[in-house]
Chains A and B, each alone.
Chain A
Amino acid sequence: MTTPRLSVKDLHVQFPVRSGHRKQTLRAVDGVSVDLKPSEILGIVGESGCGKSTLARVIAGLTEPAHGSVELDGRPLPPRRTVQEQRAIQMVFQDPGASLNPRLTVGAVLTELLHRHGIVDRARERERAEDLLRRVGLPARAYDARPRQLSGGQRQRVGIARALAVEPRLIVADEAVAALDVSVQAAILNLFADLRVSLALSMVFISHDLSAVQAICDRVAVMYLGKIVEVGSVDELFSAPGHPYTRALLAASPSLEETAAVAPPLTGEPPSPLRVPNGCRFHPRCPLAVEKCHIAEPQWEMQGEHRTACHRAWEVDDVTAAGARHPRGIALNP
């Protein structure tokens, strides 16, 4: 068995929150363990506030965890990374408008990084930067452009070139296509897929868009309130989801295949990570919840490589039907 490219072990991230006079602790990431093989793309999905972006920042070394470790190729990375360790994992951000310094040209952004890490000598900097631009599908003349002269899709390509510039071993893309137009989204997803083949790129792909995840990921992890509740290959997870939450997400995801408006299978909204429920943290919204779910936190149920943390994993096939009858929460289609 090969050493995983990335191995996240029992990761916890907490933020102090002050509401009025009370000091509380927000458990953004609450015990996450997940592995990523070399040249694999792992998707992480979940609603806002589930901790997926915080997880991305910890993996990229931008936020320090309270507990747990991030290992790269079997070697644990310290909370404060050296320049070399920092270089190994690069991030692609959501908003292409905010992720580029408006006062620097594209060339300045790229050569600054090449220079910092001594990747090429000064004389060949421009040549190397133009190579990077071509690699992400931009013309070499983009070198002299400033961000405001570029479209959203072009800026996102620059953001990808910037991540590739330091020759990382892993890329973390946080909602990297969410702010783009549909046709541009497809082009960026194609680019990621091409880079994975041509550069043997490993990637953590964070998204709330299940169709994008399905298009480019090998495996998917579903997060709910700071914990991973299901992990599996894209095929297994999308065709036979084990967790009721995963099924609810799939049902809510807009797609062209269905016809009339269907009853929403999930009621209510994601609860606050300040008040994590006891037992299974999904039980207040779960259509299948039983007594046990209120008390005991579920352990992993395995089906080969496919894991689900649910007391009633794979138990009921049609959650949609159960959801429509479910009395708790907001009744939308009475």
Chain B
Amino acid sequence: MRSYAGRLGSLLPRATRLKLDRKGKFGAAILGAYVLVAFVGLYLVRDPVQQDLVHRLAGPSWHHWLGTDSLGRDMFSRLIAATRTDLRFGFLAMLIPLAIGTVLGAVAGYLGGIADSVIMRLADLVQSFPVILLFLGVAAAAGTTDSFLLLGPGELPIMIVFALVGWVVYARLIRSEILRVRNMDYIDAARGGGLSTPRIIVRHILPNAIPQTVVYAVVDVGLAVLSLASISYLGLGIPAPNPEWGAMINDGQIYLAQQWWLVVAPGIAIAGLGIALALIGDGLDDEMRR
């Protein structure tokens, strides 16, 4: 007999095994292109951190498709290289809070009572804390941390802040979904049939409580990328010289009047990813409502 852990593993695919409508498929195609670029793009372009101070702020040309930045680095290469950083960060910044939030939300929703009160007050506390202070606090540390597992140099402290803050939404979502599903007659029928509590949670409650969260999680990847770009723009994000869309916008903005593409190109990259994810999320949502 398969273990409950094994069943938990098969939960996500089961919850997402849904057809997508046309707009969802369109979004998935765009996302596929981003993922492809993230994986192979780096091998097709030149070194994104190679400086060339002689050719600073060059305009678009055959040699430099999107020109060069203020340190003479090839903008197109940096844009492609940043795809990997931002996508990887975005997905991790969704998955880690999702995992924490699902566990805490499930505990709060199913057990109720004191566990529920403690977890939800903790969530209130986190939500009322000014996040920007946290980022200011870790900004100094970010410059000195090395790579850690899947995370690049300087990313760990930022990811910790994302995890500390991000789980709250997932916990609330899962909790309210569990409270809804718990009251369905089929849960009473499962209890009445003598099924064990872990089985009822894993096979009857979670598969019905998770889909709504999956929709949000898809959109959340885009939100995480946007947040990373925002804090990078404020100079609190991933440290130089590693390319990242938000940091690129920050670098380029003083040249906006002459070299506007330095800002517009990473801006389009962020917007495109956000739109693709929103389309997928919307498509999943529509399918689930049928």
Contact = CB atoms under 8 A, between A and B. Distances in A.
Contacts of A95: 185
Interface stretch (B132-140, B164-172, B192-200, B219-227): B192-200
Contact of B195 (A91, A116, A159): A116
A90 B184 CA distance: 16
A62 interface: yes
Interface residue tally of chain A, by bracket?
20 to 34
A94 B189 CA distance: 12
A102 interface: yes
Interface string A101-117: 11110000000110011
A87 B194 contact: yes
Contacts of B207: 101, 103
B191 interface: yes
B124 interface: no
B47 interface: no
A90 B196 CA distance: 16
A91 B189 contact: yes
Contacts of A117: 194
A166 B193 contact: yes
Interface residue tally of chain B, by bracket?
10 to 19
B186 A91 contact: no
Contacts of B192: 60-62, 86, 89-91
A113 B208 contact: no
A162 interface: yes
A98 B181 CA distance: 10
A225 B98 CA distance: 47
Interface string A71-93: 00000000000011011011101
Nearest to A98: B185
A60 B188 CA distance: 10
Interface string B175-193: 0000000001110111111
A99 interface: yes
Contacts of B204: 101, 104
A100 B186 contact: yes
A116 B208 contact: no
Nearest to A100: B186
B14 interface: yes
Nearest to B14: A103
A62 B187 CA distance: 10
Interface of A: 57, 60-62, 83-84, 86-87, 89-91, 93-95, 98-104, 112-113, 116-117, 159, 162, 165-166
Given A86-B194, A101-B207, 10 more contacts: A61-B192, A62-B192, A87-B193, A89-B192, A91-B192, A93-B188, A94-B185, A98-B185, A116-B193, A162-B193
